[in-house]
Amino acid sequence: MAWELIPVNTKRGGEVLALAIILSEDHPQENDGRERRIMDRTTGIPTRQAVLVKADEIFNNQAETQWAIVRLNTVGMRRIGQALGQDMGDHALHQAVGHVASSLAEGECVGRVDGNELIVLIHHKNDDDTVERIQAMALLFVEPLKVGLLQFMLQLNAGIARFPQDGITAKDLERRAIIALERTRRSDFHYAFFSLALEDHVLAHSWVPAEATRALREAEFELHYQPVVDTRTGETVSMEALIRWQHPWRGMILPGHFIPVIEQMPLIVNLDLWVLERACHEAMAMGKPVAVNITANTIIGPDFLKNLDRVLAQSKLPPRWLTLELTERVFSSPELVLEPLKAIHERGVQIAADDFGVGYSSLSYLWQYPLDKLKLDGSFIRAAALDQRAKVLVKGLLPLIKTLKMTVIAECVETEDDRAWLHEAGVFFQQGYYFARPAPWKGSGTIVAPFSDIKKE
């Protein structure tokens, strides 16, 4: 078995060199069959398997070097075949391959996976350099692709896995590059690097739907509570109910790993109502106001107001003791949520905008919706530790928010410096690990922050 450079003609004038396996000392018929397995006849470049073989050969012989396997998706390519037929689609794919191959350096190679996906083996100096390489490839697709008399716009998405830090075999790296590519399909990013956190997130989409319904039925979900502290007195003024999943063999799972998946299922309404009912009953027993996170699908559901009235009546929790925390995604659809929110507010239930400063942040919804509280996202707090401009931004927002008669709560307060500058800025209601970590209520006493050492003002 040997490797040679095979010329691939492109429409850009000239030739591009692509790597291919050449088998020798075999019968002609065997050669032809093996060549079909290692060369893609449509594009004239190696197959996915050929690139993986070449990658493993490099990894085994050059273990001290750094490489990256990239899975590329040429978004929009499928539309060409659907609109103009397979032959024209193949012609367009050939052009796209030429774009990618023309950007490769010596020793690198590109192969076809199937459909409109490619696999690329490139040198990896560092993350910034690889991003520049991917962006350079993407720039080749800025101009419309000409197919016959028509023009089509394509977009290049890339998932990147690095050797050796993300894996030491080509198949492992390819699998992880696919996971990274999946991130681009679920976000506005055009490229993504593999990470273990990303793997957990992507894999959750496979197991969470299958297990979440059973988990709710078998009482695997539980609530933990984190106090909100008034820094002027050290008093715990309210609690936030935070869901946890005590999985029988995966252990304790935080909401970031399963809520984004369940939000896409009808089950989210049942889970939200379970949290609401459990939190109201336990808050009444603790004797403290409580905040509960509610998703948009639940708010706009036909029976939500009826269920809210039922839960308040059964738990005997005063409506003013309940705060519904809504993420900024809820406020992106005013035509759906405005009337339900008004009805909730009329009942005396408090409404808070959660995670202010990320996602759909907009000053317009501060006056458009009946809001009582605004929760500053932890990214503001973390940024302020490094950048004075973030502190200036928070301090500048406070007069406006107070004019609208809203209470400001800072999340993710983790250090004394965080507490101090927020307090100085006038953000007196704070929560975070500095005060107390979320903990379950055991049915005796109230969860409070250990804050007796705060100087009362």
Question: Which residues have C-beta within 8 Å of that of residue 210, sequence separation ≥ 6?
Answer: none
Residue 359 has pLDDT above 80, yes or no: no
Specify the pLDDT at position 449: 52
What would the pLDDT profile of 173-221 be if each residue is shown by its tens digit? 999 999 899 888 766 678 999 988 777 777 777 788 989 999 999 999 9
Share of the chain above pLDDT 90, in %: 48
Is residue 300 within 8 Å of 335, Cβ to Cβ? no
Grade residue 239 by pLDDT with cuts at 50, 70 and 90. Answer: very high
Beta strands in 171-317 (DSSP E): 191-193, 221-230, 235-247, 251-253, 290-293
Grade residue 86 by pLDDT with cuts at 50, 70 and 90. Answer: confident
Grade residue 87 by pLDDT with cuts at 50, 70 and 90. Answer: confident
What would the pLDDT profile of 96-151 be if each residue is shown by its tens digit? 888 899 999 999 999 999 878 999 999 999 999 999 999 999 888 888 878 777 77
What type of residue is 247?
H
What would the pLDDT profile of 295-305 be if each residue is shown by its tens digit? 988 999 999 99
DSSP SS3 for 4 = strand
State the average pLDDT over residues 265-277: 95
Grade residue 446 by pLDDT with cuts at 50, 70 and 90. Answer: low
437-445 contact pairs (CB < 8 A, 24+): 437/226, 438/224, 438/225, 438/226, 438/240, 438/242, 438/244, 439/224, 439/225, 439/226, 440/222, 440/223, 440/224, 440/225, 441/223, 441/225, 441/282, 441/285, 441/286, 443/285, 445/286
d(CA 50, CA 35): 10
DSSP string, 49-104: HHHHHHHHHHHHH-TTS-EEEEEEEEETHHHHHHHH-HHHHHHHHHHHHHHHHTT-
Grade residue 257 by pLDDT with cuts at 50, 70 and 90. Answer: confident
Grade residue 224 by pLDDT with cuts at 50, 70 and 90. Answer: very high
Question: Which residues have C-beta within 8 Å of that of residue 92, sequence separation ≥ 6?
Answer: 77, 80, 81, 145, 147, 152
Is residue 403 within 8 Å of 370, Cβ to Cβ? no
Specify the pLDDT at position 357: 66
Question: Which DSSP symbol is given to 248?
Answer: T
Q: What mean pLDDT, rounded, does the chain reach?
A: 83
State the average pLDDT over residues 8-33: 43
Specify the pLDDT at position 457: 35
d(CA 48, CA 31): 18
CA distances from 429 to 54, 230, 412, 435 (A): 59, 5, 12, 11
In the block, tokens 């539309």 appear at: 79
Listed residue (70, 69, 74) closest to 94, CA to CA: 74
Specify the pLDDT at position 236: 95
d(CA 103, CA 98): 9
What would the pLDDT profile of 384-442 be if each residue is shown by its tens digit? 777 788 788 888 888 888 888 899 999 999 999 999 999 998 999 999 999 999 999 88
